[in-house]
Amino acid sequence: MGHPLLRELARPVSPDELGSAAISHLIDDMVDTLRDYGGVGLAAPQIGESLRLAIIEIDGGPTRYGELESLPLTVFVNPVIEVLNPATAGYWEGCLSVPGLRGYVERPQHVRIDYTDREGQHKSLELRGFYATVFQHEFDHLDGVLYVDRLNDTRQLTFEREFERYLAPSADLVVD
């Protein structure tokens, strides 16, 4: 947070670029970074490339916020979000680009994503709940928006240590 690139509107990836060695290498770097960090998603601007490209990978299974379905590693090129129902719910979000903090953010919980996959195929995906929040957090990075911009109440911004100590037992959690 503070790097100007994180506040830029990222540019679309062109069809020609998509199959290039440079983009392929960037995606590989993003996957390594995401897995090193142990997060669920990463956007290209977070590793210094102002491109509309993000990856998401969710390990399923029982968690403190219920049983989650796995989402295998997926590459989202030029994604567009449409809100299908504006009703919101909140989660405690974290971010690789805002280390050491968590904040409570409310977002719409039913969205559709239109995107291009790594092979250049157009696809769409309908998402609810936790998944809808994860995707909105990641794709915000492509518009230069960080979750801290979306806090309704700055009193719900915490350090990770205090979060774990005082809030985690009863809280939902998003790790990015």
Q: Which residues are catalytic?
A: 138
Distance CA(157)–CA(41), nearest Å, equals 20
Q: Which residue is nearest to Zn ion (CB)?
A: 95
Tell me which residues touch Zn ion (CB under 5 A): 95, 176
Q: Which residues, including other chains, have CB under 8 Å from residue 53's CB and lie 6 or more apart?
A: 10, 13, 23, 26, 27, 30, 43, 44, 75, 76, 77, 78, 142
What DSSP string describes 25-54? HHHHHHHHHHHHHT-SEEEGGGGT--BSEE
Residue 96 CB, nearest distance to Zn ion (Å)? 6
Position 105: which residue type? Answer: V
We find the least distance from the C-beta atom of residue 118 to Zn ion, in angstroms, to be: 21
Of 110 and 150, which CB lies nearer to Zn ion in the complex structure?
A: 150
> Among residues 27 and 54, whose Cβ is nearest to Zn ion?
54
Nearer to Zn ion, 39 or 108 (CB): 39
Task: Encode burial over 88-122: b for 16+ CB neighbours within 10 A, e otherwise.
Answer: eebbbbbbbbbeebbbbbbbbbebebebbebeeee
- Bridge pairing between strands 157-159 and 101-116: antiparallel
Q: Which is nearer to Zn ion, 51 or 95 (CB)?
A: 95
